[in-house]
């Protein structure tokens, strides 16, 4: 699940064929979000569904917590249920802290987030940047949301497809991630609050005393 969030954890792109006006709102909302959302906070619930094995139903895992971001390139996912985990990108380093294991994984942020959901939420600042890595297609409205599909241009990555959902008012509401292992991860955002900036300290991470640190 961790890899799905990080590698999973949005971006998009490409030229669009003419579409019906009712389908264009999701794309317009995406463009407005990328251009205007400089920082923000939200609560989230994540549901990961793994492919069913022979004679068994699909395995479903649900988690949740809080999310915050500051463009460009800073974000934090704090999982509070069912296990305590923290993922922080401070602009240079990507940190993952597993509280139960008392282990911190650290790696250069660099290109680790390119072409991932995190690029949409925290890094790119215009649609041209999204078009470098993704092909965008508007989708029919569903579940009361306006949707945009994003297909990665890099076919060798873990993520196979993304879908981003917005409310009728243009608010970020959902992110669906489909990976190469057949897993589907759905993040639902609530209490989304956009801001001009957040305190710099929100995205600083110091490994807790006694925690092991693994370099990747």
Instruction: Please tell me the predicted confidence (pLDDT) of residue 20.
Output: 34
CATH at 139: 2.50.20.10
Render pLDDT for 5-26 as a digit per residue (tens, 0 to 9).
444 443 322 222 233 344 447 8
Q: Is residue 205 part of a domain?
A: no
> What are the phi and psi torsion angles at 5 (to 5°)?
-70, -45
Q: How confident is the model at residue 114 (pLDDT cuts 50, 70, 90)?
A: low
CA angle 213, 2, 72 (to 5 degrees): 85
Q: Is residue 111 part of a domain?
A: yes
Strands (DSSP E) contained in 82-211 are 85-90, 93-98, 103-108, 134-142, 145-152, 159-166, 172-179, 184-195
* Tally of domains in the chain: 1
Q: Is residue 159 part of a domain?
A: yes
Q: Is residue 211 part of a domain?
A: no
Render pLDDT for 181-204 as a digit per residue (tens, 0 to 9).
889 999 999 999 999 999 989 999
Q: What is the pTM of this model?
A: 0.81
Q: Is residue 67 part of a domain?
A: yes
Domain that holds residue 109: 2-192
d(CA 161, CA 184): 10
> What are the phi and psi torsion angles at 129 (to 5°)?
-65, -35
Q: Is residue 201 part of a domain?
A: no
Q: Is residue 71 part of a domain?
A: yes
Q: Is residue 204 part of a domain?
A: no
Q: Helices then strands (H, E): number in the chain?
A: 4, 12
d(CA 121, CA 135): 17
């Amino acid at each position: 699940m961790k890899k799905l969030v990080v590698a999973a954890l949005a971006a998009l792109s490409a030229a669009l064929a003419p579409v019906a006006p009712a389908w264009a709102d999701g794309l317009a909302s995406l463009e407005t979000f990328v251009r205007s959302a400089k920082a923000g906070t939200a609560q989230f619930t994540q549901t990961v569904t793994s492919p069913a094995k022979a004679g068994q139903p699909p395995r479903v895992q649900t988690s949740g917590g809080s999310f915050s971001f500051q463009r460009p390139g800073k974000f934090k996912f704090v999982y509070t249920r069912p296990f305590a985990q923290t993922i922080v990108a401070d602009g240079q380093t990507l940190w993952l802290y597993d509280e139960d294991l008392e282990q911190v994984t650290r790696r250069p942020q660099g290109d680790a987030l390119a072409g991932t959901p995190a690029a949409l939420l925290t890094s790119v600042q215009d649609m041209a940047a999204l078009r470098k890595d993704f092909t965008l297609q508007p989708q029919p409205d569903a579940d009361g949301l306006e949707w945009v599909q994003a297909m990665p241009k890099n076919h060798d990555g873990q993520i196979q497809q993304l879908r981003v959902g917005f409310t009728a008012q243009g608010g970020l509401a959902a992110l669906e991630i489909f990976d190469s292992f057949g897993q589907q991860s759905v993040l639902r955002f609530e209490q989304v609050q956009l801001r001009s900036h957040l305190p710099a300290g929100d995205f600083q991470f110091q490994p807790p005393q006694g925690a092991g640190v693994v370099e990747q």
